[in-house]
Each structure stands twice: as C-alpha cells, then as structure tokens.
C-alpha cells in the first residue's frame, strides 16, 4: 500500500516555510494547516499554500453542536481544501450533519475523524472519565465515524493495524505521531512510530512537521522520509 507524506506547517504563517515548500513542491503533494496558522492568517493561509502547488489538509478538529459544524464544513468547502478534520467525540448527529454538508457542498472533500489525540495516554483518558484503553477508545470512535459516513480516520500509528483489521479497506488512515529514526524525544506526543513502520502497518498518510522544519537541512530531511517510505 502506498503511503503519502503530509508536511505539517506548525508555524503562524506560510511565509515562514515558503522557501522550503517551493523546493519540495512536486515531490511532496500534501501540506497540513492547523489551528495555529489558520487562527493567525485565516483562509488566506489555505489559498497561499494551495498556490504553492500543495493539496491542503485543513486540520481544525471541528467539535461543536451539529448545526455549527455543518456550517463550518460548508465554509471550508469554499476553500481549496482536500481533507478536513472533526472530532468524533462530537457524536453521531454532529458527524452525520457534517457528512450531509460535505455531500451538498464538496463531494470530493475527505472528512477525517479525530479519535484520541496522540498526546494522550491511558492515564489522560482516565482523568477525563474514559475507562477504556487508547486502542479500545480509538476503535470505538472510528467505527462510529465510519458508520456516519466519514471517509477517513486520524489515529496514532499504534492503532493503525487494529483499525485496518476492523474497518473497510476504502477508509483512509492518517497517522501523526511519526518520528524518523534518530529523532530525539517525542515532543508532546505519547504514541509514536517511525515512517517505515507506520507505512508497513497500513497508513495511507503520515504527518511530519518538526522533524522536517527543525532539521538543519529540511529538504534533505523530507527526502530521507520519502526514501524510507519507498522501501517500507
């Protein structure tokens, strides 16, 4: 199974990484815009990154009442966005309404369900009242999301294999929490894996940001990850 690399743009502005993106355009197809950049620059950040030749993964993790989320999906669909996230913890009706909005506004938009953040472990879940293990909670929420019509799931790489065994093969799995070999520490993520291991487990996409943009040579770091994926 082919696995694509998504560059996470964890900066306030596209201009801070534009030079690297220009050098990688054509070799890497996807870039992720999260809350930091979208809050700082708004929809223009999406247009700028798309204008550099990338398909945009807008990672806003929508989580609100169903009507508000549906309207947010409609608004995002007016931008050059190919993937959009929402929290599966928002429940069945919220996800169902989001899917309806996608179908009416942008059928090609891939809605991704965020299950358990990769920064959380079993103790963190217990503090929020969830007695299940991260894997069990991820599986429960992923099955609910797919049943509501979402086309993909965001999960830690440790949950890829269990989800592959239980979800339809057409469901896309997107894995943050990726650390290339030799990367020191885990930053704020608790459940991590190397790019090759995640690809072998069945990820469709891996998300990498700091390991590329904090490297001495970001282009070389990105190309090393691509090479690792190619041999996985």
Banded model confidence at residue 187, pLDDT cuts 50, 70, 90: low
Whether residue 126 is predicted with pLDDT greater than 60 in this model: the reply is: yes
Q: What is the CATH number of the domain that holds 106?
A: 3.20.20.70
What pLDDT score does 9 carry? 96
- Taking only the tens place, the pLDDT of each residue in 196-211 is 999 999 999 999 999 9
Count how many domains the chain has: 1
Banded model confidence at residue 232, pLDDT cuts 50, 70, 90: low
Banded model confidence at residue 152, pLDDT cuts 50, 70, 90: very high
Banded model confidence at residue 184, pLDDT cuts 50, 70, 90: low
Mean pLDDT value across residues 94-116: 97
Whether residue 50 is predicted with pLDDT greater than 90 in this model: the reply is: yes
Active site residue 172: no
What pLDDT score does 140 carry? 96
Write the DSSP assignment of the chain as a string of letters. ---EEEEE--SS-GGGTHHHHHHHBTTB-EEEE-HHHHHHHTHHHHHHHHHTT-EEEEEEEE-S-HHHHHHHHHHHTTSS-SEEEEEGGG-HHHHHHHHHHHHHH-TTPEEEEE-S-TT--HHHHHHTT--S-HHHHHHHHHHHHHHTT--EEE--GGGHHHHHHHS-TTSEEEE--B--TT--S-TT-SS-B-HHHHHHHT-SEEEE-HHHHTSSSHHHHHHHHHHHHHT-
Mean pLDDT value across residues 209-219: 91
Banded model confidence at residue 2, pLDDT cuts 50, 70, 90: confident
Whether residue 181 is predicted with pLDDT greater than 90 in this model: the reply is: no
What pLDDT score does 179 carry? 81
The domain in which residue 116 lies consists of 4-230
Whether residue 229 is predicted with pLDDT greater than 60 in this model: the reply is: yes
Query: What predicted TM-score, i.e. pTM, was given to this entire model?
Result: 0.92
pLDDT-wise least confident of 15-19, 22-26, 181-185 = 181-185
From the candidates 32, 61, 172, 214, give the one annotated as an active-site residue.
61
């Amino acid at each position: 199974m082919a696995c694509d690399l998504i560059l996470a743009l964890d900066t306030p502005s596209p201009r801070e990484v534009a030079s690297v993106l220009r050098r990688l355009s054509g070799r890497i197809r996807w870039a992720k815009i999260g809350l930091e950049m979208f809050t700082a620059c708004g929809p223009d950040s999406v247009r700028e990154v798309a204008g550099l030749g990338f398909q945009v993964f807008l990672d806003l993790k929508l989580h609100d009442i169903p009507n508000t989320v549906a309207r947010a999906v409609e608004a995002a669909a007016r931008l050059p966005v190919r993937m959009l996230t929402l929290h599966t913890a928002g429940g069945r009706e919220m996800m169902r309404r989001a899917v309806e909005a996608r179908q009416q506004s942008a059928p090609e938009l891939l809605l991704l369900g965020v299950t358990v953040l990769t920064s959380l472990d079993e103790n963190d879940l217990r503090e929020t009242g969830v007695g299940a293990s991260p894997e069990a909670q991820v599986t429960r929420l992923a099955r609910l999301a797919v049943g509501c019509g979402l086309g993909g799931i965001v999960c830690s790489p440790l949950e890829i294999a269990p989800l592959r065994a239980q979800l339809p093969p057409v469901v896309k799995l997107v894995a943050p929490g990726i650390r290339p070999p030799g990367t020191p520490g885990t930053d704020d993520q608790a459940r991590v894996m190397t790019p090759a291991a995640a690809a072998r487990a069945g990820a469709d996409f891996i998300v990498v940001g700091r390991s590329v943009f904090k490297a001495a040579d970001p282009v070389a770091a990105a190309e090393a990850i691509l090479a690792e994926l190619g041999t996985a």
